[in-house]
Amino acid sequence: MVQFSMGPEPSLRPASGNTRIARRVALIGWDAADWKLIHPLLDRGLLPNLQSLIERGVMGSLATLDPPLSPVLSTSIATGLTAERHGILGFVEPDPVMGTLRPVSSTARKTKALWNILSQSGLRSVVANWFASHPAEPIQGAVVSNLYRSGAPGPEGDWPLPAGAIHPPRHEAALSELRVTPADLTAADLLPFIPQLARVDQDRDRRPLTLASILAENISVHAAATWLMEHEQWDLFAVYYDTIDHAGHVFMPYRAPRMEGITEDDFGLYREVIDGVYCFHDLMLGRLIQLAGPDTAFLIVSDHGFFSDHLRPTGESAFQLDQAIAWHRSHGMLTMAGPGIRHDELVFGAGLLDLAPTILALLGLPPAEDMRGRVLAEAFVTPPPPGRIPSWEDVPGDCGMVDPAAARQPWEAAEVIDQLIALGYLEPRQEDAAQEFANARHQQDFILARVHLSAGRFLEAIPLLEKLSADLPAELPYRLYLAQAYCEAGRFDSCRSILDPILRDAPDRPVVNLLRGNLALLEADPLRALDHLLRAEAAGPPRLETKLAIGRVHLALERWHDAERIFRSALETDQDNHAAHTGLARACYGRGDASAAADAAMTAVSLHFEDPAAHYVLGAALARLGNLDRAVRAFQTSLALRPDFAPARDALAAFGVPVSA
């Protein structure tokens, strides 16, 4: 059986006199970077700088949060908190003064980011292009906001910086000169990405110009970040590159293997773009490593992955208002290297919320109890002290957050919104500004509801979804999520009242039959559940969610071998699906193979640490194998993740382990 360690559990005692492990920390965000693409490039020797960090550090997958929207996720990385706490709920926010939309701003963030915590702790940060960082916060150090590159030069060549894009203002003149436009890039600059560029009729095909725009923004951000790295003192350097994500939404359909519906000509022209973008990021990483020096701990992270193989979406999803996030995979990437970090090791079970506590520990500062994530102690040569303070939000002192009154200053960022529309993150602009304003409110409520659902707070999600469904009854996703919330909360009649009319109008609609099957399973009617799920499977293209639900029905019927077959089939589709590994663990345990069950459960935990069911099955399997101490720890972790999880509570009671009420 595979041996597995998640590191020590965090203590809740306050820390004092923590030792600083690294003199400096560099946090590099590669939006949407994915190991499935990185590993083949590493094998070909095309990412030498990332390879050097991996060889002298640790690497692992990084579980994302739901919904996988980068402004929400990157803010969770920076704060260690989820969206209902930090307040960033999408790409845009309603401007209450102008009555229009604007890109989400730093004034909408309700909690301290790492650079605020460091600022009030006497440490300095350089922050470049982090989502929701405009207007720039007056921290100790420097900030280039995510609107630094917005706009374009006027007819006379003037290109003023957006007000509030730079802190401190003394850097504005130097940084304004570093911005690059698509017109500054030549054909030679694009050839590494589009080797057959000469074949493209650019009067009719605008994709090379789109790539040039994406690259120009990336180059501008990198130029500003490296300039500040050289001209400012810093303890934390944080830069966010969104190029992989932006390029992915345009060019991933053309990457090998060729997708159905992609012409041979387009495939030949644009198949190299994505790999070229990764190689370009590695070149930039090399410069950052050079400038930072050997006493810097590096973290290269992505907030989510990006589908690049047979799982690439091919059509509309009934559950998604935002079709762009259907491309986002559940696991991003993590590489850590530098002082105090182990060499050439793997880290398992890491999630986005673990990054802020880990960075604080590297800098000798205690994480907070209200940060749900853990310090990735297994990545350290000597684990840092386990103590925590109650909350950084309660620590007094000037932290450099922007006065919310700054939100009332009107500023224009139409180009940013237009880009988000082009990438599929936003609906096209509407002539009715009031309706557009209302839609933005609806979208924020929907995102918040999904945050609650993903955390199991169904009763908090239901009022939001009820209002959305009442205000916009034609929007099927709102009703489907409401049905799911009702189902999970045990309000089965309310769930049926939504699903039955849809089934009457479209009896073979796969997603509704999927929800109906899940409902029947919760109502302890597995045979009726199986009937609905088989209808869903037969009515449309294969859905992994349907296959997983069928596996759960076989578990309920104690058809262990059938369940194992289904979950193994699901893993052939997506080997990184933690729910499939958890289901496989339950099936193996049911048929009496505790060793295989423990292996599958540990894999599930390594992919998604915050799955209480996986920890519970791991505990049950370990107990059967006679490893009682580790079994108890697994049950305790399960209950800590979900305090109302009765199976874990009962298991601990059976072991005579006291648990709090």
119 and 203: one domain?
A: yes
607 and 595: one domain?
A: no
Q: Tell me the C-alpha distance between 32 and 460, whole Å.
A: 30
Under the banding of pLDDT at 50, 70 and 90, the label for residue 95 is: confident
605 and 591: one domain?
A: no
What pairing do the DSSP bridges indicate for beta strands 100-103 and 92-95?
antiparallel
The whole-angstrom distance between residue 498's C-alpha and the CA centroid of its chain comes to 30
529 and 631: one domain?
A: no
Q: Tell me the C-alpha distance between 538 and 547, whole Å.
A: 11
- The token pair at 1 is 């059986």
- The token pair at 59 is 């690497």
Q: What is the mean pLDDT of residues 611-639?
A: 94
> Does the pLDDT value for residue 423 go beyond 70?
no
Residue 176, class by beta-carbon neighbours within 10 Å (0-12 exposed, 13-18 middle, 19+ buried)? Answer: middle
Domain that residue 505 falls in: 429-600
166 and 302: one domain?
A: yes
In a domain, 319, yes or no: no
Q: What is the mean pLDDT of residues 630-645?
A: 90
615 and 586: one domain?
A: no
User: What pLDDT is recorded for position 13?
Assistant: 30
> Does the pLDDT value for residue 507 go beyond 80?
no
Q: Tell me the C-alpha distance between 635 and 200, whole Å.
A: 59
User: What pLDDT is recorded for position 324?
Assistant: 80
- Spell out the residues 6+ positions from residue 518 whose beta carbon is closer than 8 angstroms to its own: 484, 487, 529, 549
Q: Tell me the C-alpha distance between 638 and 630, whole Å.
A: 12
Radius of gyration of the chain (CA): 25
Element containing residue 610 per DSSP (H, E): none
**Encoded amino acid at 574, one letter:** D
User: What pLDDT is recorded for position 526?
Assistant: 92
Lowest mean pLDDT among 290-299, 316-325, 330-339, 355-364: 316-325
- The token pair at 196 is 């057959």
Q: Could you check whether the bond before residue 135 is cis, i.e. omega within 30 degrees of 0?
A: yes
Q: What is the DSSP letter of 312?
A: S
In a domain, 117, yes or no: yes
Q: Tell me the C-alpha distance between 339 and 336, whole Å.
A: 10
User: What pLDDT is recorded for position 41?
Assistant: 97
* Residue 60 three-state SS: strand
Q: Is there a contact between 527 and 535 (Cβ–Cβ < 8 Å)?
A: no
Lowest mean pLDDT among 315-329, 387-401, 490-504: 315-329
606 and 596: one domain?
A: no
User: What pLDDT is recorded for position 429?
Assistant: 58
Q: Tell me the C-alpha distance between 92 and 42, whole Å.
A: 36
596 and 614: one domain?
A: no
34 and 82: one domain?
A: yes
Positive or negative, the CA dihedral 381, 385, 389, 392 is negative
Q: What is the CATH number of the domain that holds 590?
A: 1.25.40.10
Q: Which of 373, 408, 443 is the last residue of a domain?
A: 408
75 and 173: one domain?
A: yes
- In the block, residue with structure tokens 């958890």: 582
Q: Is there a contact between 118 and 125 (Cβ–Cβ < 8 Å)?
A: yes
In a domain, 12, yes or no: no
> Does the pLDDT value for residue 5 go beyond 80?
no
Q: Tell me the C-alpha distance between 491 and 238, whole Å.
A: 45
In a domain, 130, yes or no: yes
- Spell out the residues 6+ positions from residue 437 whose beta carbon is closer than 8 angstroms to its own: 94, 99, 100, 101
Q: What is the CATH number of the domain that holds 141?
A: 3.40.720.10
Q: Tell me the C-alpha distance between 553 and 536, whole Å.
A: 14
In a domain, 322, yes or no: no
User: What pLDDT is recorded for position 427?
Assistant: 58
Under the banding of pLDDT at 50, 70 and 90, the label for residue 54 is: very high
Q: What is the mean pLDDT of residues 67-90?
A: 95
Lowest mean pLDDT among 339-343, 375-379, 390-394, 406-410: 406-410
Q: What is the mean pLDDT of residues 231-239?
A: 97
- The token pair at 350 is 């890491």
Q: Tell me the C-alpha distance between 440 and 87, whole Å.
A: 14
Positive or negative, the CA dihedral 489, 492, 493, 498 is positive
Element containing residue 101 per DSSP (H, E): strand 100-103
Nearest to 306 by CA among 603, 35, 606: 35
> Does the pLDDT value for residue 416 go beyond 70?
no
Q: What is the mean pLDDT of residues 578-582?
A: 95
483 and 528: one domain?
A: yes
Under the banding of pLDDT at 50, 70 and 90, the label for residue 262 is: very high
Q: Is there a contact between 334 and 303 (Cβ–Cβ < 8 Å)?
A: no
Q: What percent of the chain has pLDDT over 70?
A: 91
Q: Tell me the C-alpha distance between 225 and 535, whole Å.
A: 54
> If you average pLDDT over every residue of the chain, what do you get?
89
> Does the pLDDT value for residue 278 go beyond 70?
yes
Q: Which of 375, 408, 441 is the last residue of a domain?
A: 408
Lowest mean pLDDT among 4-8, 30-34, 360-364, 652-656: 4-8
> Does the pLDDT value for residue 181 go beyond 60?
yes
In a domain, 416, yes or no: no
Q: Tell me the C-alpha distance between 424 and 415, whole Å.
A: 14
Q: What is the mean pLDDT of residues 19-38?
A: 95
- In the block, residue with structure tokens 């993903």: 454
> Does the pLDDT value for residue 588 go beyond 70?
yes
User: What pLDDT is recorded for position 320?
Assistant: 53
Q: Tell me the C-alpha distance between 218 and 445, whole Å.
A: 31
- The token pair at 654 is 């059976």
Q: What is the mean pLDDT of residues 109-125?
A: 97
Q: Which residue has the higher pLDDT, 5 or 452?
A: 452
In a domain, 4, yes or no: no
Q: What is the CATH number of the domain that holds 630?
A: 1.25.40
Nearest to 6 by CA among 527, 492, 644, 611: 611
Element containing residue 196 per DSSP (H, E): none
> Does the pLDDT value for residue 410 go beyond 60?
no
DSSP tally for the chain: helices H, then strands E: 26, 14
Under the banding of pLDDT at 50, 70 and 90, the label for residue 163 is: confident
Lowest mean pLDDT among 167-171, 292-296, 657-661: 657-661
Q: What is the mean pLDDT of residues 604-621?
A: 92
Q: Which residue has the higher pLDDT, 620 or 437?
A: 620
Phi and psi angles of residue 61, each rounded to the nearest 5 degrees, phi first? -80, 155
Q: Which of 557, 577, 600 is the last residue of a domain?
A: 600
* Residue 521 three-state SS: helix
- Spell out the residues 6+ positions from residue 532 whose beta carbon is closer than 8 angstroms to its own: 513, 514, 516, 517, 520
User: What pLDDT is recorded for position 367?
Assistant: 96
Q: Could you check whether the bond before residue 473 is cis, i.e. omega within 30 degrees of 0?
A: no
> Does the pLDDT value for residue 642 go beyond 90?
no
> Does the pLDDT value for residue 89 go beyond 70?
yes
Q: What is the DSSP letter of 401?
A: P
> Does the pLDDT value for residue 424 go beyond 60?
no
Lowest mean pLDDT among 3-7, 485-489, 557-561, 615-619: 3-7
Q: How many structural domains comprise the chain?
A: 3
> Does the pLDDT value for residue 456 go beyond 60?
yes
358 and 439: one domain?
A: no
User: What pLDDT is recorded for position 418?
Assistant: 64
Residue 384, class by beta-carbon neighbours within 10 Å (0-12 exposed, 13-18 middle, 19+ buried)? Answer: buried
Q: What is the mean pLDDT of residues 125-148?
A: 96
In a domain, 415, yes or no: no
Q: Is there a contact between 242 and 220 (Cβ–Cβ < 8 Å)?
A: no
Q: Where do the DSSP E strands lie in 116-200?
A: 125-128, 141-144, 166-167
Nearest to 69 by CA among 97, 42, 39, 93: 93
Q: Which residue has the higher pLDDT, 321 or 549?
A: 549
Nearest to 236 by CA among 115, 390, 415, 72: 115
**pLDDT tens digits, one per residue of 196-205:** 999 999 999 9
Element containing residue 330 per DSSP (H, E): none
- Spell out the residues 6+ positions from residue 623 whose beta carbon is closer than 8 angstroms to its own: 631, 651
Q: What is the mean pLDDT of residues 207-228?
A: 96
- In the block, residue with structure tokens 């208002």: 321
